[in-house]
Amino acid sequence: MFERHAGSERVVLASLDFGEPDYADSVEELQRLAESAQLDVAGLIEGRRARPDAALFAGSGKVDEIATMVRATDAGVVIFNHALSPAQERNLEKLLECRVVDRTSLILDIFARRAQSAEAQLQIELAQLGHISTRLVRGWTHLERQKGGVGLRGPGETQLETDRRLIGKRVKLLKDRLAKQHRQRTIQRRARSRGRVMSVSLVGYTNTGKSTLFNTLTHAGSYAADQLFATLDTTTRQLYLPNAGEIVLSDTVGFITRLPHTLVESFRATLEETIQADLLLHVVDAGSPNRDKQIAEVNKVLAEIGALHVPQILVMNKIDLGTIEPGVEQDEYGNITRIRVSAKTGAGITALRDVLTQMSQRHREPAAPQLSTAIINNEYHPELD
């Protein structure tokens, strides 16, 4: 049932159903996340509850069931398909006698493994520090058992304060470095804007084929794989269109259900390429039964980062896996809404290039002079003359 990775960490997955409509999808994603982290998954424990337990998240009976599997499989980590509080993690670790991490920690770990550029590494470290700062007490839980022994309680508290101060300094340093890179990107965007070069960003759910489409259009050779979060670094290339000149195309990190807020905040600098784009190509897995939910989840994150106002076209990718034909769909006003393509086989790519050419030609047209509100409303005000 689970893919084994020789020499990797053995883990038990735990997931509770609280009645959410997307529960089954989230469990499948948890398993894929574990595969992406190359973990040796020993098993999956599931259960149903009306609400999380304040102390253990799961009920005591379910925790006993997890403990039994941990001992039987000699697993060293239990991964919950949920966000756990620091207190819940500590309580579970005491009962299960192994490390306990939540979905957020797993995603952060995958991001840390995949980050290649210096900027992505800075952003991941910033997100990890934000997550770790609430869990500093974990490393000093042995002091709680000492009942205030001589020479123990004071140093423990001092160490925690020191850790927090060091983390605070490191966070400030990371934010300063990211701000510097943000200023550099702003200068580059202004230069493109002066030349009226259209900026296009690929966005979408993770593993929908954004990087494959990016490579097909630009021949960039960016890393693409059938795994979650194959791309973390925003890659930008110039794409030449014969009848419209050059445009700038950017490939961005994929989104996922319950994407940790700390990651969204840390990657805000990178995602500004999306916010400042002239057009978003929202890449969708056309054959996924969950595509509508995934589209909604991507739009939710776009709204969170302030990019929902940017015009977008849905690119229905992977049509080669089904019976969908390539083509372009328009609304009743003649606006292009969807393009059906296969980045893998190239079907529909010519139509996509034609659409980008039309959009770029419009973008390069001289801007119409802006009329004052008074003139638009047919009002005359002498003081405006």
- Would you report the helix, strand and coil content of the chain in percent, each value rounded to 5? 50, 20, 35
Q: Does 59 show up as a binding residue in the annotation?
A: no
Any binding-site annotation on 210?
A: yes
Q: Is 300 a known ligand-binding residue?
A: no
Residue 251, annotated as binding a ligand: yes
Q: Are 284 and 314 in contact (CB under 8 A)?
A: yes
354 annotated ligand binder: no
DSSP class of residue 57? B
Annotated binding residue 230 = yes
Cα(296)–Cα(292) distance, integer angstroms? 6
- Confirm whether residue 302 is marked as ligand binding: no
Q: Are 269 and 227 a contacting pair, CB within 8 Å?
A: no
231 is in an annotated binding site: yes
- Tell me if 252 is assigned to a ligand binding site: yes
| 15 labelled binding-site residue | no
Q: Is 344 annotated as a binding residue?
A: yes
d(CA 108, CA 124): 7
* CB 137, CB 90: distance < 8 Å: yes
Helices (H) and strands (E) in the chain, counts: 12, 11
Residue 205 marked ligand-binding = yes
Nearest Cα residue to 281 out of 317, 227, 257: 317
For residue 207, say whether it is annotated as part of any ligand binding site. Answer: yes
151 is annotated as contributing to ligand binding: no
* Three-class secondary structure of residue 100 per DSSP: strand
Confirm whether residue 226 is marked as ligand binding. no
What does the DSSP 8-state code read for residue 77? E
Residue 342 assigned as binding residue: yes
> Is 211 marked as a binding-site residue?
yes
233 is in an annotated binding site: yes
Give the residue numbers of the binding site for Mg(2+).
211, 231
Give the residue numbers of the binding site.
204-211, 229-233, 251-254, 317-320, 342-344
Give the residue numbers of the binding site for GTP.
204-211, 229-233, 251-254, 317-320, 342-344
